[in-house]
Amino acid sequence: MATAAAKSRPPLAMIVISVVVMIFAMAGAWYYLYLQSPQYAVQQILKAQDEKDLATFEKYVDLDAIANQIVVMSDSRLDEVLDQSTDSAGQWAGGIRALAEKARKQIREKVGEYVQTSIRDRVTNGTFSWHVLSVLKRGKLDELKTWIVSGTGATYLAQGPITATKKTAKAVLQYQNSGGTIDDVILQLHQGEDGWKVVAVTQLE
């Protein structure tokens, strides 16, 4: 006759089932967290580039923010040109600067539109490279059109480490440039209501 203690023990099958359920629940929770991570966002971006999937690419890349980086650079370049022009313009300096300021908004819009259109085109035809934007961010605005159209000649090698805080993250992508050396391109991500998105790109010196 079974003792009272034996009767109170759960069957072995129930124990096994409970353990399996716990394992699946933990795996599901981990996978859910992974889907919300910057690591997943970067993987989706790289996959979208390989598959020429513009819709997925734009889901994880804030093109407005990326283009604005170049727009800010165009503003800085315009200021440099104005300074050089007005230094020797004498009495016409004020008029030249006033005309340039009126044109600034239109210039910003055109540069932003051009950058976004070029990125979309290159993702769609499979030739997009983060290396192009990272080099532009370093101040090579004069070569914007050439590099966006024809690239920098750099070859993508591998994804490096990703470091993250609560709302921001940095992902390293390694490229071999045309000179044979390795460039670390940094994707800066931000977590908003729509999840993680790349909002800026820089390059380690």
Domain parsing of the chain, residue ranges: 11-203
For residues 158 and 193, what is the distance between their CA atoms, to the nearest angstrom? Answer: 29
pLDDT of residue 104: 67
pTM, two decimal places: 0.73
Mean residue pLDDT across the chain: 77
Confidence of residue 170 (pLDDT cuts 50, 70, 90): very high
pLDDT tens for each residue of 43-62: 999 999 999 999 999 999 99
Contacts by 116-123 with C-beta closer than 8 Å and gap 24+?
116/63, 116/64, 116/66, 116/67, 118/148, 118/149, 119/63, 119/66, 119/67, 119/148, 120/54, 120/58, 120/63, 122/148, 123/48, 123/49, 123/52, 123/53, 123/54, 123/57
Strands (E), the chain: 155-164, 168-176, 182-192, 195-203
